[in-house]
Chains A and B, each alone.
Chain A
Amino acid sequence: MAEITYLEAIREALFEEMERDPNVFCLGQDIGAYGGAFKVTDGLMAKFGDQRVIDTPISEAAIIGAAAGASHMGLRPVAELQFIDFISCGYDMLTNYVATARYRAFLPCPMVVRGPSGGYVRGGPFHSQNPEAAFLHTPGLKIVYPATAADAKGLMKAAIRDDDCVLFFEHKYLYRRVKEVMPAGDHVVPIGKARVAREGKDVSIITYAATVWKALEAAEQLEREDGISVEVIDLRTLLPMDDEAIVATVKKTNRVMIVHEDTRTGGIAGEITARINETCFEWLDAPVLRVTAHDVPLPYSPPLEDFVLPQVSDIVAVARHLARY
């Protein structure tokens, strides 16, 4: 079996789920004949036709709202946002309509909203965003953000089969940079379960998406240069959060940092820190620390973007601080 990229893994999941279930269909801008801005849906229209791979006008609110309506009737829409930055144009639909539908009206929304996310690609303020925290605060939505190709495939299949709306964040920096052989058979990764990306005993790094790879790189360096054993937890799902996995690593290493690419204030790291305080404060030997972007829109120019975003050297510095605390 050949290795496939993170991007190809998502495409494979879409193919398999559309073959498995005739209710699954895709909608979005330029996803049909063109195959999407990043070519995630390349070949889908040729295989499944333009009734199940629908090119839409530039109307995120309509894409998300129509997906919700179709999902009420038993269809399983997968809505692509050309860049996840444009999810803000559908924010009203997602937070007011979709997220509340099951609770207030007993109308489930089994739908997926997916799109390329994240920085490190010189995309500037409107093609680099990580808006997950805005939706973490919205009860009724689920959020996944895979770091590996196998998880991208397995979580996409789980998201499509889930009976609620799943926001599926795809990191565009990883699209063609990570690859692996897919597990055989019907590979489904359960939503809500974290993964130990690297075992360690001295310091824990809790992270997700592209910064998983930065954490792993930092862990190698810390092992080599300092003899510090670093455990890396890849959350994979942000909502619902895997509290068990978080508590387990805190109890194991007693020193924890949270790394995310999103900005700091009101970010997911703050939520994880609060959960650690509430559930396993007594096991901590050091304060929980955060490595995040600075609190500014993401700038375009390389020296600026590199400065604003978390880097391997930041993770190394904070791990050393935690280890000697």
Chain B
Amino acid sequence: MLAAPTHTGGDHAYSHRPHADLLTREQHLALYRHMRMTRTLEERLVALYRQTKVVGGLFRSLGQEADAVGSAFALERRDIMSPLIRNMGSMLVKGATPLEILRQYMAKGDSPTRGRELNIHFGDLVRGFVGQISHLGDMVPVMAGIALSFKMRGEDRVVLVYIGDGATSTGAFHEGINFAAVQRVPLVIVVENNGYAYSTPTGKQTAASSFMEKAAGYGIAGVQADGNDVLAVYDVTKSAVDRARAGGGPTLVELITYRRKGHAEHDNQSYVPDGETEWWAANNDPIDRFTAWLAAHDGISAEELAAIDASVGAEIDAATDEADASPMPEALDALIGIYAEPATLPPHWYRDGVRAVVETHERPASWGTHDG
């Protein structure tokens, strides 16, 4: 018998889902493929990490695939979002590719950041996602600013920013959400409550009983959904996106999920009560739940899903080979692009092949106290 978990996700059965009910069978399969791609790609990254081909840390979203994929699925192509470290799935929905993610983790010269940044810290305004930084909460005001630009120009576009339970404790979160609320910009704030910020359980992060209720203090709408039910996630996020698009201002969406792996791959989760991750794996896996729903609702067979899984595996295999063959960056690329002008900095004078003023300068014979 598994121990009863302290954080179980609660009961969020929606009898009526006005948005999710409109999704087609093809869209259901697309949701499934993104979730499967997220999980399988992360499993591949673990293998590469163990081979030391992933240079820096590795961050998993195991068990959170539904909240990442379902929420991003509620955005239009023209909308812009900013992911967190466990939103690889959201980025895949917005068009990020496995090849980009692999190159990025492997610090390759042709990665989206040319080897400058780690993991999924990258973005593309054209496809509609902005790379995060490590300083939690900072993306809330930044994304409020993008939303402000849409409001100022009268563009029919919405912004979504992901933050975790931990980031709600930062000043940047508070300032950003308050700014967005006062300016009534089209921003959706998705708080992924996965039970832990590194080793800190949610109960030590906030004394509030939910994150949803914080919305009231900012004068905006607050809603909550079962983050492991991809259709519930889609539905609640789509409502918030529609409200923002209609000029109704920001919404705080709390998604209840669970982080089944450690903060990063090195974290042994010694702080997690015995049986807790196992309980979630056995009873509340988002892919298992959606697979069961697909069979019951769409009559989708195990064979059809297996074919998707195989195509996901083949895409990841091909991308891994390509990323593996990618070159590391050229060292001098480190000095390109710190400013628009000048676009390139010179290396320090003592580096090979660079003659410097101090080496070539002809000194007066009498200069210096010890000259002959």
Mask: chain B, 177-215; 1 = CB below 8 Å from A; 0 = not? 000000000000000000001111000111000000000
Separation of A60 and B334 alpha carbons in the complex (Å): 30
A30-B198, A89-B135, A126-B135 are known contacts. Are A300 and B55 too (CB-CB below 8 A)? yes
Give the CA-CA distance A304 to B334 in the complex, in Å.
5
> Does A139 sit within 8 A of B, measured CB to CB?
no
- Candidates B137, B331, B348, B368; contact of A285 at CB < 8 Å: B368
What is the CB-to-nearest-CB distance from B327 to chain A, in angstroms, rounded to a whole number?
A: 10
- Pick the 10 closest A-B CB pairs, nearest first: A301-B115, A57-B169, A126-B134, A34-B199, A307-B331, A301-B107, A299-B116, A304-B334, A58-B166, A124-B118
Contact check, A317 vs B107: say whether CB atoms are below 8 A apart.
no
Within B285-323, which residues are at the interface with A (CB < 8 Å)?
none
Count A/B pairs, Cβ under 8 Å: 144
Q: Are A301 and B108 touching (Cβ within 8 A)? A: yes
Selecting from A67-75, A182-190, A236-244, A287-295, the interface stretch reads A287-295
- What's the least CB distance linking B203 to chain A, in Å? 11
Q: With A and B bound together, what is the CA distance between A314 and B347 in angstroms?
A: 12
| B345 close to A294 (CB less than 8 A) | yes
- Measured in the bound complex, the distance between the Cα atoms of B201 and A59 in whole Å is 15
Whether A30 lies near B199 (C-beta < 8 A) is yes
CB of A127 within 8 Å of the partner chain: yes
User: A277 at interface (Cβ–Cβ under 8 A)?
Assistant: no
A58 touches B136 (CB 8 A): yes
Task: Verify A57–B204 contact, CB threshold 8 A.
Answer: yes
Which residues on A sit within 8 Å (CB–CB) of B55? 122, 300-302
Q: Verify if B242 is at the interface (C-beta below 8 Å from A).
A: no
Please report which residues of chain A, range 46-69, place their CB below 8 angstroms from some CB of chain B when the two chains form the complex. Answer: 55, 57-62
Ordered by A's residue number, 27 sampled pairs between the chains whose C-beta atoms are within 8 Å are: A33-B271, A34-B198, A55-B200, A55-B204, A59-B170, A88-B135, A89-B135, A122-B55, A122-B107, A123-B56, A124-B116, A124-B118, A284-B369, A291-B350, A294-B335, A294-B347, A294-B348, A295-B338, A300-B55, A301-B55, A301-B109, A301-B116, A302-B55, A303-B109, A304-B116, A304-B331, A314-B351
Q: Could you say which of B328, B330, B332, B358 contacts A287, with CB atoms under 8 Å apart?
A: B358
Q: How far is the CA of A34 from the CA of B351 in the complex (A)?
A: 43
B40 to chain A, nearest CB (A): 24
Known: A57-B204, A321-B350. A300 touches B166 (CB 8 A): no
A296 touches B338 (CB 8 A): yes
Q: Mark B136-157, 1 if CB is under 8 A from A, else 0.
A: 1100000000000000000000
Q: Is there a chain A Cβ closer than 8 Å to B370's Cβ?
A: yes
Give the residues from 219 to 263 in chain A that come closer than 8 angstroms, CB to CB, to chain B. Answer: 254
- Give chain A nearest CB distance to B42 CB in angstroms: 19
Residues of B within 8 A of A82 (CB): 198
- Which residue in A60, A61, A127, A289 is a CB contact (below 8 Å) of B134? A127
Residues of chain A lying within 8 A (CB to CB) of residue B199: 30, 33-34, 55
Q: Is the CB of B171 within 8 A of A59?
A: yes
Residues of B within 8 A of A126 (CB): 133-135
Q: Nearest chain A CB to B257's CB is how many angstroms away?
A: 18
Q: Is A202 an interface residue (CB 8 A)?
A: no
What is the CA–CA distance of A237 and B169 in the complex, to the nearest angstrom?
A: 33
- A-contact 0/1 string along B347-369, CB 8 Å cutoff: 11011000000110000000011
B72 an interface residue at 8 Å Cβ cutoff?
no
Q: Is A86 an interface residue (CB 8 A)?
A: yes
Task: Give the contacting residue for B200; candidates A30, A83, A287, A295; CB below 8 A.
Answer: A30
> Which residues 49-96 of B have a CB within 8 angstroms of A?
55-56
Interface string of B116-133 (1 = CB under 8 A from A): 111001000000000001
User: At the interface, yes or no: A125 with Cβ under 8 Å from chain B?
Assistant: yes
Q: Does A181 contact B (CB under 8 A)?
A: no
A2 to chain B, nearest CB (A): 25
A125 to B204, Cβ gap below 8 A?
A: no
B82 to chain A, nearest CB (A): 15
Among B109, B205, B270, the residue within 8 A (CB) of A34 is B270
Q: Give min CB distance, B353 to chain A, whole Å.
A: 12
Q: In the bound complex, what is the Cα–Cα distance between A306 and B329 (angstroms)?
A: 11
Which residue of A has the minimal Cβ distance to B116?
A: A299
A308 touches B115 (CB 8 A): no
Given contacts A301-B114, A301-B115, A304-B334, 16 further A-B contacts (CB under 8 A): A30-B200, A33-B271, A58-B170, A59-B171, A291-B348, A295-B345, A299-B115, A299-B116, A300-B56, A301-B109, A301-B116, A304-B329, A306-B331, A314-B351, A318-B350, A321-B350
B167 on interface, CB distance cutoff 8 Å = yes
A140 to chain B, nearest CB (A): 22
- The docked-state distance in angstroms from the alpha carbon of A303 to that of B331 is 5
| A85 interfacial contact with B, CB 8 Å | yes
With A301-B55, A304-B329 as contacts: A294 and B334 at CB distance below 8 Å: yes
User: Does B274 sit within 8 A of A, measured CB to CB?
Assistant: no
Contacts A58-B136, A314-B350; is A125 near B117 (CB within 8 Å)?
A: yes
